[in-house]
Homo-oligomer: A and B are copies of this chain.
């Protein structure tokens, strides 16, 4: 089974980016114990004040899919939803590299 990668861009209501960043960092703490999650990094883009990008690498697509049904993920989605105006995802197949 090949690895699974994801770039997710969240756009927030004006001025709510930092609150979402905090929630995503909490989520990444929860990921420490989630098997199959190799990388979950929260990023602030250079030129967009109300956006956050999350970089994920999973051992396989099904590990990522299963993570969406964790209780913690569902609670996070509920809490974050009011802050968010848009979500864009780029699905990837990581094929190799450093730190991979």
Interface assignment of A44: CB less than 8 Å from any CB of chain B: yes
- Copies of this chain, tallied across the complex: 2
Interface assignment of A92: CB less than 8 Å from any CB of chain B: yes
Main secondary structure of the interface of A (DSSP, over half): strand
Contact A95 B55 (CB under 8 A): no
A selection of 26 A-B contacts at a CB cut-off of 8 Å is A5-B43, A5-B55, A7-B7, A24-B97, A25-B95, A25-B96, A25-B97, A32-B98, A37-B98, A39-B39, A39-B98, A39-B99, A39-B100, A40-B98, A41-B96, A41-B99, A41-B100, A42-B96, A43-B93, A44-B92, A44-B95, A45-B90, A46-B90, A47-B91, A53-B92, A57-B99
